Each structure stands twice: as structure tokens, then as C-alpha cells.
Amino acid sequence: MNGPVRRLSPTLVGSRLVQSTRRATAPERSEAADATLGIVLAFVAGGVNAGGFIAVGRYTSHMSGITSAMADDLAVGAFGLALAGLGSVLTFVAGAALSAILINFGRRQGRSSVYAVPILVEAGLILLFGLIGFAFASAANTAVAVALLCFVMGLQNATVTKISGARIRTTHVTGIVTDIGIELGKLVYRNRAPDLPPVRADRAKLLLLIELLAGFFVGGVAGGLAFSRFGFAASLPFAVLLLALAGPRLASSRPAP
């Protein structure tokens, strides 16, 4: 005979969601917390990157492409475009630097919100991006919007890099796809030498990598559709998602043990 069906009340569900978000930005890290944070941030990065392209005509998350474009622009004498590319790289670096400053300051202060603060800053900057594009449509403001998105991408990538100990990246997928290929190669490798250590795939890592890639892709689809239909106002849901991620930890901020 089956036991009674356990029903989850909205209050219990909400409590569990709050606990999950608190763990995702907690100073005490775990693989589950890193995975939750990484997937959410990959979704946001994919959405803002794809949506940003529709809004301002530039991808802002991958510095490899921007740096290559700078080289091409210099080669053909398009110095203005090369200078714009340099500005994108420098603002990305500045965003990463700000993340390091915020996290190191939070660690020295012993605050439990050490990782939530840069996510809160990112949410505010995404809102600012939406406001700039919505209220001030001009070529000059487009350049400002591109620089702002590059700053946001640098901030996010550095934040999740420091949180996960460089195990997780969220704003570009080249490394993710490479690591997926490596783990798949290990998975199908036939160990024929019994006297040598076997080659084994890290299945948990492979699953996480696939989830990160899927998060970035799904976020890109959502961002592309949202920005195509609603314009810069589509920035709001991504900022709210980040606020929901950082909010519970900030609300319970205390000196870290």
C-alpha cells in the first residue's frame, strides 16, 4: 500500500528556492552550488550576449573574436573600428578587475555576501544598459552600451572564475566545448593495457559542461527572442534573475564564519 502523497506548499517551495539561491552565492562552496550558479549565469550571459547583438549589433562576451576583428581592422586601415575594439577589450578587463576588487574586499571584511555583491552590481549594470538604449537612441550611446556590456561580461566571467576556482566559465563556450570533447574522448577510449592506469571520463564534469553549454544556448534563444520583440526592455528579466540570485544572500548578510 502506498504511503500518503507529500504535497509541497507554496511556502515550502519558496523557502527551498531561497535556500538554494543562498547556497549558490555562499562563501562556503560545493560542487552543487557552483553548478547552480554557473548554469544561471551562463543563461544570463547567453541572453545578454545574443540580445545585445540584436540591440546594438555587437557580440560582447568573447574577446577572441573582438581581438581578431581589431587585427583585421588595423590591416585594412579601419582605425576607428580598431579603436572601438580596443575599447571593448579594455572595458572587459575593467569589469574583471572590479570583480576581483569587490571579492577580495569582501573576503578581507569576512562578509557572507562576498559573492552576491558583484552579481548585484551586474544586475544594476544590465538595468542601466536597458535604460541607456531605451531612453537615448544614438550612435554615441550605442558605443556606450557596447562598452557597458563588455564591462558586464568581464565582471561576470571573473566573478564565476574566482568563485569556482577557475573550473567554470560562463560568458564564452570555446573552453566548454573543448572540455566536452576531451571528456567524450575519455568516455569512448578503450583501455587495452591492463598494466597501465585506466583512462576514465569524469561523468559529473561532462554533465556540468553540457548543462553550461545548454544554459548559454537557451539563454541566447530567450535573449534573441525577447530583444527582437521588446527591444532594450528585455534587459529587465535578466537583471531580475540576477537580483533573485543575489538577494537572499544579501538579505542575510553577516560576517562569514
Tens-digit pLDDT profile for residues 181-193: 999 999 999 888 8
Q: Is 43 exposed, middle or buried (0-12, 13-18, 19+ CB in 10 A)?
A: buried
- Mean pLDDT score of the chain, rounded to an integer? 84
Instruction: Please indicate, yes or no, if residue 74 is contained in any of the structural domains.
Output: yes
Cell of 236: 529587465
pLDDT in tens, 215-246: 999 999 999 999 999 988 899 999 999 998 88
255 within domain boundaries: no
Residue 28 region by backbone torsions, left for phi larger than 0, else alpha for psi between -120 and 50, else beta: beta
Number of domains in the chain: 1
In a domain, 79, yes or no: yes
Q: What does pTM read for this prediction?
A: 0.83
Question: Concatenated DSSP letters for 37-53?
Answer: HHHHHHHHHHHHHHHHH
Q: Which domain holds residue 61?
A: 31-171+217-247
244 phi/psi in degrees, rounded to 5:
-65, -30
Please check whether residue 257 lies inside any domain of the structure: no
Determine the pLDDT at residue 42. Answer: 92
pLDDT band at 137 (very low <50, low <70, confident <90, very high): low
What totals of helices (H) and strands (E) does the chain contain, helices first?
9, 0
Residue 17 domain-assigned (yes or no): no
b/e map of 149-165 (b: 16 or more CB within 10 Å)? bbbbbbbbbbbbbbbbe
DSSP state for residue 27 in the 8-state scheme: S
Residue 55 lies in a domain: yes
Q: Does some domain include residue 225? A: yes
Q: Judge whether 191 lies within some domain.
A: no
CB atoms within 10 A of CB 170: 28
Lowest mean pLDDT among 47-56, 131-140, 146-155: 131-140
Looking at residue 173, the DSSP 8-state letter turns out to be -
Check residue 144 and give its pLDDT: 83
**Who contacts 162 (Cβ-Cβ below 8 Å, separation ≥6)?**
99, 100, 103
